[in-house]
Amino acid sequence: MNFYNNTHPYYCGIDLHARTLYVCIIDQDGNTCVHKEISANPNELQQLLEPYIGNIVVGVECMHCWYWVADFCDDIK
């Protein structure tokens, strides 16, 4: 089994709900850069992630309706 062990400047965790996203972005030292609730739509997510694009890894926690976030991340990479 191979494990991914690269480091990145920023890490984003998203708790995805039907109407809202809870977004937390930390830097590689563990300092919180963003901790915010936003509407569950691509435009708001893009505005929030814009300063970090190209330097961030995103992980999403959800039971359903995750597909649009995966498509969004694939489109902006």
pLDDT at 38: 97
Residues in the chain: 77
Residue 17 makes CB contacts below 8 A (sequence gap 6+) with 40, 62
Contact criterion met (CB below 8 Å) for 55 and 70: no
| pLDDT by 10-residue block (mean), the chain, 77 residues | 86 92 96 96 93 92 77 80
pLDDT at 21: 92
pLDDT at 37: 97
Dihedral of CA 54/5/72/44: which sign? Answer: negative
Report how far residue 58's alpha carbon sits from residue 12's, in angstroms, rounded to the nearest whole number: 5
Of 52, 66, 65, 41, which Cα lies nearest the Cα of 76? Answer: 52
pLDDT at 77: 63
What is the residue extent of each domain of the chain?
A: 15-76
- pTM, entire model: 0.83
pLDDT at 2: 79
